[in-house]
Amino acid sequence: MTNEQIVKHLFSLQDKKFREFHLKLIPGIETDKVIGVRTPALRKFAKEIIKAGSGEEFLSSLPHYYYEENQLHSFILSEEKNFDNCIKYVDKFLPYINNWATCDQLLPKVFKKQPQKLLPHINLWIESGETYKIRFAIGMLMQHFLDEFFEERFVQKVASVHSEEYYVKMMQAWYFATALAKQYDCAVKFIEDKKLDSWTHNKTIQKAIESFRVPDERKEYLRTLKV
């Protein structure tokens, strides 16, 4: 399956009404680069590309033109079974990610099997100064290091990120709200000590209050910590 055939098939899946709706969710993307394909259709197509043996060729064809090609890239790469190959492809792809949706859809399953091997790469991404590398790094800490492999130093690492980028600050808030659900005793100290900027601090509390995983009595206390 060639890249030209892949793009042609994407246009065959186009939903113009969905396109107009989705454009509002991904500001900053040039409108002519969005085809308008729903996520379930993209996931299904990604599996077909892998089954056809065309996944590696597609992953090597950066940069892509269309937003949906980048979405496919995230879905295909998330299925890569070899850790070292996956890291190689992730490092090549991250500089081309230019929106939150593509960033957040990149969830390599193989990372769950070797989280400690992932840490050095997270450290590089989070210190890169690049919006979506940082967002991805925080997302990986949230996904893989808030349960069995949790350590307070990871919370400190996320708190130490200083950025004016909206999509970094939103991911920090998402991370801390999740930490308040999973590792409350540690995470709440960072809120009590106001280790985050005011906007991220308040957004974290908002998200925690909206979460079903945070008990009501903790929500009441968190409300008193708003700034």
Question: In one letter, which amino acid is 103?
Answer: C
State both tokens at 204.
């974290």
What's the rounded Cα separation, in Å, for the pair 128 and 84?
20
195 by Cβ neighbours in 10 Å (0-12 / 13-18 / 19+) ranks as middle
Tens-place pLDDT, residues 62-80: 999 999 999 999 999 999 9
Instruction: Give the residue among 75, 74, 69, 53 at the shortest CA–CA distance from 11.
Output: 69
Residue 28 gets the label, from left (phi > 0), alpha (psi -120 to 50) or beta, of: left
CB 226 within 8 A of CB 193: no
Task: Report whether pLDDT(111) > 90.
Answer: yes
28 by Cβ neighbours in 10 Å (0-12 / 13-18 / 19+) ranks as exposed
Tens-place pLDDT, residues 171-223: 999 999 999 999 999 999 999 999 999 999 999 999 999 999 999 999 999 99
pLDDT at 105: 97
In the chain, pLDDT over 90 holds for what percent of residues? 99
Q: What is the pTM of this model?
A: 0.95
pLDDT at 195: 97
